[in-house]
């Protein structure tokens, strides 16, 4: 499925119309980016046929690629101009990173599971997208790339990590699904204004948890995969 160009573009167009525009996301840049990035490239082969469906999908290692609507929503809330400097915490499949890169942002995606980071980087490269993927514990942000105009967290956090606020520019914006006293999480948009900030709360949602530390790739697992690897 989606092996030919026209097939996936039709599926992506339907996804944007039915799941994103129909739910009120009107930013034409977000919609154009989500039409242009082939989402089926960011999921394992076995679920590629479901890539444009209205739900998250498993990407292995107990992780998921976020539902298309949530990717669009977060990108809209971030609301940055082309050329904006963005950090994504929890790059997973690399899809959110790719959408931001397709909008002309300079984006660094951090992923704690090295095996996922390696695959995500290959996908971005194969599509000619400029996003950078690094294996790191995103709770500490990524100081060398700071200051950021925006930071988007793609895993459920218990609290806003101090490093994120420190690494935002004076007018930067943080979008993070934050755990609360309710079931699941709620999207928090925290806008920095010098030393102060303003909070706004948006959609209730469900994300995989933000975890501590990094998981290096298992050398045995990669060795056994090597013969199938085209590179
Ligand atoms: N935007 C991604 C979401 C993947 S799920 C996509 O659509 O594919 C969230 C990802 O966050 C998982 O891959 C998980 O491994 C990663 N993650 C969790 N805690 C992290 C941390 N402290 N630092 C970096 N990545 C983290």
What does the pLDDT look like over 169-214, one tens digit per residue?
999 999 999 998 878 899 999 999 999 999 999 999 999 999 999 9
> Which domain does 168 fall in, by range?
57-225
Token representation of residue 127? 């599509």
77 in any annotated domain = yes
Asked if residue 144 is part of any domain, the answer here is yes
- Distance (angstroms) between ligand 1 centre and the Cα of 115 equals 12
Whether residue 231 has pLDDT greater than 50: no
- Answer whether 198's CB lies under 8 Å from 174's CB: no
Atom of ligand 1 nearest to the CA of 88: 1
The domain spanning residue 185 has which CATH number? Answer: 3.40.50.150
Q: What is the pLDDT of residue 229?
A: 43
Mutate to test the pocket of ligand 1, among 78, 91, 153 (most ligand atoms within 8 A of CB): 91
Assess if residue 82 is contained within a domain: yes
Give catalytic status of residue 36 as yes or no.
no
Question: Does residue 125 sit within a domain?
Answer: yes
Single out the residue of 201, 225, 96 nearest to residue 153, CA to CA. Answer: 96
- Is residue 217, in this structure, part of any structural domain at all? yes
pTM recorded for the entire structure? 0.94
The pLDDT value recorded for residue 223 is: 56
CA–CA separation, 21 vs 85, rounded Å? 26
Q: Is residue 2 part of a domain?
A: no
- Measured distance between the N- and C-terminal CA atoms of the chain, rounded to whole angstroms: 24
Residue 128 has pLDDT above 50, yes or no: yes
Q: Is residue 25 part of a domain?
A: no
Has residue 225 got a pLDDT over 80? no
Q: Which atom of ligand 1 is the closest one to the Cα of 56? A: 7
Reply yes or no on whether the pLDDT at 163 is more than 50.
yes
Instruction: Indicate the average pLDDT of the chain.
Output: 94
Closest-CA residue to 42 (of 142, 105, 106, 131): 131
């Amino acid at each position: 499925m989606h092996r030919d160009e026209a097939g996936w573009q039709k599926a992506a167009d339907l996804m944007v119309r039915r799941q994103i525009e129909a739910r009120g996301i009107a930013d034409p840049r977000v919609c154009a980016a989500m039409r242009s990035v082939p989402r089926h490239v960011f999921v394992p082969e076995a679920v590629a046929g479901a890539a444009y469906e209205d739900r998250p999908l498993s990407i292995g290692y107990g992780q998921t690629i976020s539902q298309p609507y949530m990717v669009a929503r977060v990108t809209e809330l971030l609301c940055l101009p082309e050329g904006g400097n963005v950090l994504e915490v929890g790059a997973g499949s690399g899809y959110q990173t790719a959408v931001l890169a397709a909008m002309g942002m300079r984006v660094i995606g951090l992923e704690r599971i090295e095996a996922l980071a390696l695959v995500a980087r290959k996908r971005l490269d194969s599509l000619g997208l400029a996003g950078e993927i690094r294996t790191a514990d995103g709770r500490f942000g990524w100081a060398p790339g700071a200051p950021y105009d925006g930071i988007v967290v793609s895993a459920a956090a218990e609290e806003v990590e101090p490093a994120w606020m420190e690494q935002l520019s004076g007018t930067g914006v943080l979008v993070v699904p934050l755990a609360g006293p309710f079931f699941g999480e709620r999207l928090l948009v925290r806008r920095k204004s010098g030393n102060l900030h303003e909070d706004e709360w948006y959609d209730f949602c469900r994300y995989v948890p933000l975890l501590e530390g990094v998981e290096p790739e298992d050398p045995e697992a990669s060795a056994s995969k090597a013969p199938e690897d085209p590179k």
